[in-house]
């Protein structure tokens, strides 16, 4: 019974992941896209953790931790690039 519940949660999270993918592609602003990418990473981490529990494989939790670090660094880098672009546009307007 517990396995069916967790599989249902995995299916729901997969659907949410596709919705976030659409938000990341069509987002009205860069900030929305960054938040969507961050949420996609978080949902993927949860999905890996649930699969680790279902399959009774401990090494998947190590992969989960590594993925969390990589996801965090990716969001930091994307945010840094966005801030750099924003600053360039801001200084370009001040010079004109």
Q: What is the pLDDT of residues 53-62, one digit of tens each?
A: 999 999 999 9
Distance, CA of 28 to chain centre: 17
Q: Rounded distance, CA 61 to CA 49, Å?
A: 6
Average pLDDT over residues 74-83: 90
Q: Give how many domains the chain has, as a whole number.
A: 1
- Greater model confidence, 77 or 90: 77
Helix (H, G, I), strand (E, B) or coil at 22: helix
Q: Is pLDDT at 21 greater than 80 in this prediction?
A: yes
Q: Which of 23, 22, 42, 43 is nearest to 32 (CA)?
A: 23
Per-residue pLDDT tens digits for 2-15:
999 999 999 999 99
pLDDT-derived band at 40, boundaries 50, 70, 90: very high
Q: Is pLDDT at 77 greater than 80 in this prediction?
A: yes
Query: Which residue segment(s) compose the domain that 19 sits in?
Result: 2-95
In the chain the first and final C-alpha atoms are separated, in Å, by 66
The answer to whether 27 and 36 are in contact (CB under 8 A) is: yes
Q: Is pLDDT at 52 greater than 70 in this prediction?
A: yes
The neighbour count for residue 18, using CB atoms within 10 Å, is: 10
The answer to whether 58 and 52 are in contact (CB under 8 A) is: yes
- What pLDDT, on a 0 to 100 scale, did the predictor assign at position 42? 95
Q: How many residues does the chain have?
A: 96
Look over the chain and give the mean of its residue pLDDT values, rounded to a whole number: 92
């Amino acid at each position: 019974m517990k396995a069916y519940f967790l599989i249902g949660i995995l299916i729901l999270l997969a659907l949410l992941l596709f919705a976030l993918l659409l938000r990341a592609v069509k987002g009205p602003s860069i900030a929305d896209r960054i938040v969507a990418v961050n949420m996609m990473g978080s949902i993927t981490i949860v999905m890996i953790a649930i699969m680790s529990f279902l399959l009774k494989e401990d090494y998947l939790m190590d992969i989960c931790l590594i993925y969390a670090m990589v996801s965090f660094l990716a969001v930091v880098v994307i945010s840094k690039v966005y801030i750099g672009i924003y600053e360039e546009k801001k200084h370009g307007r001040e010079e004109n």
